Amino acid sequence: MSQQRMRVLITGAGGRIGTTLALHLRDRYALRLHYHHAPPNPPVDDVVTGDVSDFAAMQRAVTGVDAVVHLAADPRTTAPWDSVLPNNIIGTYNVFEAARQAGVRKIVFASTNHVMGMYDRDHQWPVYSHLPVRPDSLYGVSKAFGEALGRYYADRYGISVICLRIGWFLSEPHDEISRWMWLSPRDCVQIVWRALESPLPFGIFYAISNNSGRHWDITDAMELLGYRPEDDAERFFTDTAEPAPDAS
Amino acid sequence: MSQQRMRVLITGAGGRIGTTLALHLRDRYALRLHYHHAPPNPPVDDVVTGDVSDFAAMQRAVTGVDAVVHLAADPRTTAPWDSVLPNNIIGTYNVFEAARQAGVRKIVFASTNHVMGMYDRDHQWPVYSHLPVRPDSLYGVSKAFGEALGRYYADRYGISVICLRIGWFLSEPHDEISRWMWLSPRDCVQIVWRALESPLPFGIFYAISNNSGRHWDITDAMELLGYRPEDDAERFFTDTAEPAPDAS
């Protein structure tokens, strides 16, 4: 880290992941938080509001930051086109383009396992991040669009773009699905700062914890980002397991 | 072919490729041609007009057809977002969704080499169709979106979707670039009917002629679609070559 802290905008900071990132990254970076509607007591003072489909609002949001963590989206796998189009497709273009115009050199894009969800439906495992996309929803299609757009901005403009295919962000796994796709809060925080501080020109990585039962490859995230996940969902399911460190 | 000819809609039939396909496929299929603005003397009687960004117009266009060849798009690699969004992104969603609602079972999607153009910029050859996308333009990004959408419609709804990454459609190659990426008119016609009559659930294929100097893999197109290209750009560049069959 340089003496001057990196100035990082988080879009969609009011969501579940954004809330966690804001609390755990506000000491590491000079954070600006973007909300659709600002909360009464935001975790930092530097707050912007606006709709991601409003390009001028996104221009204001990115002014003066070094990096963007782009979370804002309609995250529902059932989201209809009328929402996916403005919130996920137009919104992501607006954030990338506004960031480029403002000289931002790093974007961490919150992608999703749903870009590849049809491999999971068919139990075609393991899934590697470089396989052809097989989205399971318009939401997944919109995130595949965002990854392709990110690749273009990386190749064309030299912006470092890291796409994180986030598994299932939960405080604790609770069923067979979350047993293999869990992303713990602290592992989420770690992989985001690893991505922010990575010199890679571009990358797409699965963002899940070190779950023994996982079906998605995290080798590249460990090798190329230096990601060292601390959690494994398995300890919540194994009767003989040691008590969890935080459950004493 | 069944006794009843397949009813095929071609969108963007006024473009260079659409014009060629209409003339050479009108005997093989019962064609309907979609135009933005209809020409005075269309090659078939069944003509529809409308903007692809108008969902209701696309609903009318697909009614009663068995298959769609979706060509309509802004094909400029310099196309700005303001055009790519309605013409290529919204337009492609509209055509796919209208087709699904109308019970269409086959879509041939005109994709492009520009989905992978950054491999070419960096001379990272050969390029295989299953490699991660590296678009070279917003146009290329929009076609990557269309491929991802097509994969979703194939996986989710069982519509057979064949994406053809069209090289450079020209009557004759004329320079070093077209020497390796040429798609001759008759090879274009062939690969489109091969795609229309293919039982594959989904596929992405390079659509170029059998150019000796090619950098893009057409093995899958030959193996899986049965594509048998008849032309090789090389004959236009080799002094000792036989005269072209059509140049006697």
Rounded to an integer, the average pLDDT of A175-195 is: 97
Residue-wise pLDDT for B199-217, tens only, equals 999 999 999 999 999 999 9
Whether chain B has a CB inside 8 Å of the CB on A152: the answer is yes
Task: Give Cα separations from A27 to A44, A229, B64 (angstroms).
Answer: 10, 21, 61
* Cα–Cα distances in angstroms (integers) from residue B68 to residues B35, B97, B183, in the given order: 14, 12, 21
Q: Hey, is the C-beta of B135 within 8 angstroms of any chain A C-beta?
A: yes
- Domain boundary assignment for chain B: 7-247
pLDDT tens readout for residues B85-130:
999 999 999 999 999 999 999 999 999 999 999 999 999 999 999 9
Q: Which residues of A touch B141 (CB under 8 A)?
A: 145, 148-149, 152
pLDDT for A241 beyond 70: no
For B29-78, write each residue's pLDDT tens digit. 999 999 999 999 999 999 999 999 999 999 999 999 999 999 999 999 99
A contact residues 194-223, partner B, Cβ 8 Å cutoff? 204
List alpha helices for A128-218, DSSP H. Answer: 138-157, 176-181, 185-196
Sorting pLDDT into bands at 50, 70 and 90, what band is B247? very low
Position with higher pLDDT, A238 vs A4: A4
Most B CBs within 10 Å: which of A88, A112, A129, A151, as the mutation test of the B interface?
A: A151
pLDDT above 90 covers what percent of chain A?
Answer: 94
Entry pTM:
0.95
Reported as a single tens digit per residue, the pLDDT across A119-169 is: 999 999 999 999 999 999 999 999 999 999 999 999 999 999 999 999 999
Would you call A152 a catalytic residue per the annotation? no
Cα torsion A142, A147, A149, A151 to 10°: value is -170
ipTM for this prediction: 0.94
pLDDT 10s digits, A38-85: 999 999 999 999 999 999 999 999 999 999 999 999 999 999 999 999
pLDDT of residue B240: 56
pLDDT in tens, B158-183: 999 999 999 999 999 999 999 999 99
* Residue B245 preceded by cis peptide, ω within 30: no
Could you tell me the pLDDT band of residue A238, with boundaries at 50, 70 and 90? confident
Beta bridge partners of A168: A182
CATH fold label, B7-247: Rossmann fold (3.40.50)
Where are the alpha helices (H) located in B102-212, listed in sequence order? 117-121, 138-157, 176-181, 185-196
B145 near A CB under 8 A: yes
At B1, is the pLDDT very low, low, confident or very high (cuts 50, 70, 90)? very low
